[in-house]
Amino acid sequence: MTLPEPDPQSDPQSEPQPEPALQPVTHAADSSGAWWRSAVIYQVYPRSWADADGDGIGDLPGITARLDHLVELGVDALWLSPFYASPMHDAGYDVADYRAVDALFGTLADADALVARAHQLGLRVIIDLVPNHTSSDHPWFQEALAAPAGSPQRARYLFREGSGPEGSEPPNDWRSVFGGRAWSRVPDPRTGDPGQWYLHLFDVTQPDLDWTNPQVHAEFEAVLRFWLDRGVDGFRVDVAHGLVKEPGLPDWSAEQELLSSGEDDDDGDDDGDDGDHGRRRAPMWDQDGVHDIYRAWRRVLNTYNPPDAPDHDPALDRILCAEAWVDPLPRAARYVRPDEMHQAFNFEYLQAPWTAAGQRAVIAASYAACDAVGAPTTWVLSNHDVIRHATRLALDSARRTGRGPQGLGATDPVPDAALGLRRARAATAIMLALPGSAYLYQGEELGLPEHTSLPDELRQDPTWVRTDHGAYGRDGCRVPMPWAGDAPAYGFNAAGASWLPQPAAYGALAVDRQQGVPGSTYELYRTLLRIRRDRRLGTGELRFVAGYTKEVLAFEVRAPGRPGVLVLANLGTAPIPLPADARVLVGSAAPTADGAPDGSTLPVDGTVWLAAD
Ligand code: NOJ
């Protein structure tokens, strides 16, 4: 392939210098055959995907009935956010019974039917596990409330005496991720007087478990087995970096960032000291003790398909994926060392700057960190906790980080929908070319934007209340899916009910409006996924390519024995010419009138895959 000469006229505002310091190879091809090393995994948020019973809240039978959508899209697996019995104070991340399905979502038999149908269709199923905290409705917490200070019932949670006169102040100064204090006081069950305090890093209804207690370990290992025996293929582990707290629960005066490690100990050792930067690790996040928990869990999973057995089949591996908002990347990679979890979400990537240098840096650093421990890198742009990337990428960089449950509201500046969608499509076309495993969030295949004008009185995220309406929270990315542009509730159910109202813009973006439409976001995703699968890009080797201006991200991906792709993403301010002999496989930009991608130029905020056979 002939690379075009950089055109000094094409971008007067920038220096058209070729990028000097490119790593030639940053990631080696994977030939292990383990499905999870390259899988594309689609997150289903059960209350918002498909509603079979018409009550306005999605459910498991609704999901089962729509699984064909995932096959047609071309993904390998689905991850289900929690569907367990719960009072739903945090949309099910407050679990009252880890072995039961909430009646809102169906029954255990419905869960079994979903898994069975998914497997028939060749889809693997990952479920959510919430081990940092239970619901306050969980029988353990109810027993703890009824039991005296110092009792074994209280020892499953983090109950402490208060400080100050008569213990009227919390035991320490920790803040809840959702706003307000991380401690609440309960009455002494014998006298009714104010008694001990318990820790809740999230909502008051989500008491933190005490992971120094062996009963807690035994219970969660039993829960793992319960679901593994029912056939699930893995677990996404909620707040995986939060289970173990620093002994003594020392004060942490720093402002609480959502799920931030709050530290910068990149000196590579395990001593918890302050590294180069004079800061220490937050005492509630990323403590070294969490890793022993995951080693024990890995041993449990391994009993289902022993890795050293002669008949080990990598296609049958069950997996763990860490939700660990930990930085820097080498620190996050500690969760995926060979005897721990299989995957960890790559939140550094989700938060990367929308510049060629920023993207290249995070891609290279991700491979460096994961290659060092022999784990696959994962990629993610959206989930149920962050502003959808079709909106986030239109925000100015200060508001774009994605970290934290801030959300957007009607009083915020209205994001540029066209810009956001253009960038979102380009970002996805970068992501789906990258070797490793990628996570998609429901509705991103439609280019759904965030709902930014939800009426305040309908908001349900506990963040909204706990911050005294200072942060909108995450409802805007959780709005039910549009399946049919002309149907009630856009086909979410037959009744027309929807637990959060869908914005009018969702009608034109509904699945049935995009299917078979050349250039639609849905068809773009299908094409990207098909080529990714045909060329086995997920298992390929990545090589950055020199010769373009510094505003172009250029890399080639090739799997052994397969034709490769050259990916060019123009993150600059002017279109660039494509190589003269370029053969365009797919492009993120809107197609030309005849439906074909433009084969001669790459527009701003566009990504193109060229054949590199
Ligand atoms: C992370 C989950 O993704 C989020 O939705 C939830 O609110 C918190 N953990 C608490 O469980």
**Rounded average pLDDT over 139-160:** 98
Cα 196 from chain centre = 35
Q: Name the band, by pLDDT with cuts 50, 70 and 90, for residue 25.
A: low
- pLDDT score at 10: 39
| pTM confidence score | 0.93
Q: Is the CB of 238 under 6 A from ligand 1?
A: yes
Bridge partners (DSSP) of residue 543 are 556
**Rounded average pLDDT over 210-228:** 98
Which residue has better confidence, 274 or 54? Answer: 54
CA distances from 530 to 93, 505, 526 (A): 34, 28, 6
Q: How many CB atoms sit inside 10 A of residue 58's CB?
A: 29
Which residue has better confidence, 32 or 478? Answer: 478
Side chain identity, residue 370: C
Query: 3-class DSSP state for residue 184?
Result: strand
**Rounded average pLDDT over 268-274:** 41
Residue 595 has pLDDT above 70, yes or no: no
For a substitution probing ligand 1, which of 94, 237, 238 has the most ligand atoms within 8 Å of its CB? Answer: 238
Residue 108 has pLDDT above 80, yes or no: yes
- Spatial distance between the Cα atoms of 312 and 330, rounded to a whole number of angstroms: 30
- pLDDT score at 269: 43
**How far away, in angstroms, is 466 Cα from ligand 1 center?**
15
Contact in structure between 43 and 49 (CB atoms under 8 Å): no
Q: For the chain, what percent of residues have pLDDT higher than 90?
A: 83
**How far away, in angstroms, is 208 Cα from ligand 1 center?**
13
**How far away, in angstroms, is 608 Cα from ligand 1 center?**
35
In terms of Cα–Cα distance, which of 501, 520, 498 is closest to 511? 520
**How far away, in angstroms, is 133 Cα from ligand 1 center?**
10
Which residue has better confidence, 437 or 24? Answer: 437
For residue 10 the two structure tokens come to: 């094409």
Residue 94 has pLDDT above 70, yes or no: yes
114-118, 258-262, 375-379: segment of lowest average pLDDT? 258-262
pLDDT tens digits, one per residue of 495-534: 999 999 999 999 999 999 999 999 999 999 999 999 999 9
- pLDDT score at 32: 85
pLDDT tens digits, one per residue of 150-177: 999 999 999 999 999 999 999 999 999 9
- pLDDT score at 255: 56
Using alpha carbons only, give the angle 232, 52, 114 rounded to the nearest 5 degrees.
15
For a substitution probing ligand 1, which of 43, 45, 79, 239 has the most ligand atoms within 8 Å of its CB? Answer: 239
- pLDDT score at 606: 97
The single-letter DSSP state of residue 399 is: G
Cα 132 from chain centre = 17
Instruction: Give the contacts of 193 (CB within 8 A, at least 6 positions apart).
Output: 187
- pLDDT score at 309: 95
**Rounded average pLDDT over 487-492:** 98
pLDDT tens digits, one per residue of 444-464: 999 999 999 999 999 999 999
- pLDDT score at 257: 54
- pLDDT score at 404: 52
**Rounded average pLDDT over 295-300:** 98
- The per-residue pLDDT of the chain, averaged, comes to 90
- pLDDT score at 256: 56
Residue 201 has pLDDT above 90, yes or no: yes
- pLDDT score at 31: 83
What phi-psi label fits residue 128: left (phi over 0), alpha (psi between -120 and 50 degrees) or beta? beta
pLDDT tens digits, one per residue of 349-359: 999 999 999 99
- pLDDT score at 176: 95
Q: End-to-end distance of the chain based on CA atoms, in angstroms?
A: 10
For a substitution probing ligand 1, which of 45, 90, 176, 382 has the most ligand atoms within 8 Å of its CB? Answer: 90
Which residue has better confidence, 33 or 593? Answer: 33
Q: How many CB atoms sit inside 10 A of residue 219's CB?
A: 17
Q: For the chain, what percent of residues have pLDDT higher than 70?
A: 89
